[in-house]
Amino acid sequence: MVKRFLIICFFALLALLACLNMAYQKVIALGKAPILITEELILEIKPGTGRQALESLLVEQNIIAPESAKWFQWLLRLEPELAKTKAGTYRIAPNLTTRALLEQFVAGKEAQFSIRFTEGTRLSDALETLSKAPHIKHTLTDYSYENIRKVLDLPESTFPEGWIYPDTYLYTANTSDVDILKRSHANLNAALDSAWANKAPNLPYKSKEEMLIMASIIEKETAIASERETVSSVFVNRLNKNMRLQTDPTVIYGMGSAYNGNITKKDLQTPTAYNTYTIDGLPPSAISLVGKASIEAAAHPAQTNYLYFVADGKGGHTFNENLKGHNNAVQKYIKGLKDK
């Protein structure tokens, strides 16, 4: 009788071990199995999310199958380090295994998003881009220039146009709009400080701000890298001779929403704070966001005697030392437009 009982217990134990092995294999298979999504997914794991809540979230988002859920908990028990999930927003790739997915959560490798501020655009354009960027925490009540001036800690006398640096900025979810702006402003200051410290001698700038204003004009006047220093030299030469800058981009900026794509003779004669056909010296602020190349061009203009330039109809400009040569270049440009 005892012998029979022992035999029964033996086979019961074998059956139990077989079941446990099968369960173990299921758990191991789940860890190696690819997740279900076929397209990239952004997933937020909130603070305080425990094992059960994580399982429910993954099933709800169709990342793991409902029938796999019972094995999911055993995977976390067998490998408890995989349960140390960090809260955050994650970019989930469709080719991940379940274990690799959990390792991503444990490592806290949050999704990186990007925002681009572009050279030559206005601060208002950058603020609009910022307002529409995904996963940004918007902490500012409004994006008025006065608010931005305070955020950037600029003096009351400084208009904030041009005081952020055009570049691509990476951020994680819930990064604040203020943080992005301050990072961008710090980058602008770094580029400006470096150029100011190493600028050419005898430039007609009283401050870094004036150099920034000049750089913004250069930024708007040409997108050709090889021309920037030459364009800079024209404006520096004009300032040194007490000549008005007479640059159209400043007129356009001063016109604001009244600008419709064309500048008339009346526009050139209508005074604004930015109309360099009617004011002496530099306008009161930058007119665009400025890249490093234009800042360096403002700090290191070419050594020329040029006082004028006009578009050459081929994407570049023709430079001249005197008005007669300039007028000839203008007529040539106009004739080229008519011929087209």
> Which CATH number belongs to the domain containing residue 47 in this structure?
3.30.1490.480
* Residue 21 falls inside a structural domain: no
- Which tops the pLDDT comparison, 276 or 326? 276
The pLDDT score that the predictor gives to residue 71 is 79
Residues 160-197: tens digit of each pLDDT: 999 999 999 999 999 999 999 999 999 999 999 999 99
DSSP-derived pairing of the beta strands 175-176 and 113-116 = unpaired
Residue 27 CA from chain centroid, whole number: 43
Is the model's pLDDT at 16 over the cut of 90?
Answer: no
Is the model's pLDDT at 329 over the cut of 60?
Answer: yes
Residues 94-107: tens digit of each pLDDT: 989 989 999 999 99
* Residue 46 falls inside a structural domain: yes
Residues 25-60: tens digit of each pLDDT: 566 766 788 888 999 999 999 999 998 999 999 999
Please report how the helices 2-32 and 69-78 are oriented relative to each other, as an axis angle in degrees rounded to 10: 100
* Residue 84 falls inside a structural domain: yes
Judge contact between 254 and 283, C-beta under 8 A.
Answer: yes
Judge contact between 220 and 190, C-beta under 8 A.
Answer: no
* Residue 81 falls inside a structural domain: yes
For 315, list phi and psi in degrees, rounded to 5: 100, -15
Phi-psi region of 147 (alpha: psi -120 to 50; beta: other; left: phi over 0): alpha
Q: Tell me the mean pLDDT in the region 257-268.
A: 92
Judge contact between 112 and 67, C-beta under 8 A.
Answer: no
The pLDDT score that the predictor gives to residue 246 is 97
Residues 224-239: tens digit of each pLDDT: 999 999 999 999 999 9
The pLDDT score that the predictor gives to residue 77 is 85
* Residue 68 falls inside a structural domain: yes
Residue 18: band (very low, low, confident or very high) from pLDDT cuts 50, 70, 90: very low
* Residue 136 falls inside a structural domain: no
* Residue 57 falls inside a structural domain: yes
For the chain, percent of residues with pLDDT exceeding 90:
75
Judge contact between 142 and 83, C-beta under 8 A.
Answer: no
The structure's pTM equals 0.86
Please report how the helices 208-221 and 228-240 are oriented relative to each other, as an axis angle in degrees rounded to 10: 130
The owner of tokens 């306008």 is 283
Is the model's pLDDT at 74 over the cut of 90?
Answer: no
* Residue 83 falls inside a structural domain: yes
- Count CB-CB contacts under 10 A for residue 61: 14
Residue 81: band (very low, low, confident or very high) from pLDDT cuts 50, 70, 90: very high
Is the model's pLDDT at 15 over the cut of 50?
Answer: no
Task: List the domain range (segments joined by +) for residue 85.
Answer: 30-107
Residue 20: band (very low, low, confident or very high) from pLDDT cuts 50, 70, 90: very low
CA distances from 218 to 199, 229, 255, 261, 313 (A): 16, 9, 19, 20, 18
Q: How many domains does the chain have?
A: 1
Contacts of 8 (CB under 8 A, 6+ apart): none
The pLDDT score that the predictor gives to residue 89 is 96
The pLDDT score that the predictor gives to residue 11 is 44
Residues 52-70: tens digit of each pLDDT: 999 999 999 999 888 877 7
Highest mean pLDDT among 60-64, 72-76, 149-153: 149-153
The pLDDT score that the predictor gives to residue 69 is 77
Residue 314: band (very low, low, confident or very high) from pLDDT cuts 50, 70, 90: confident
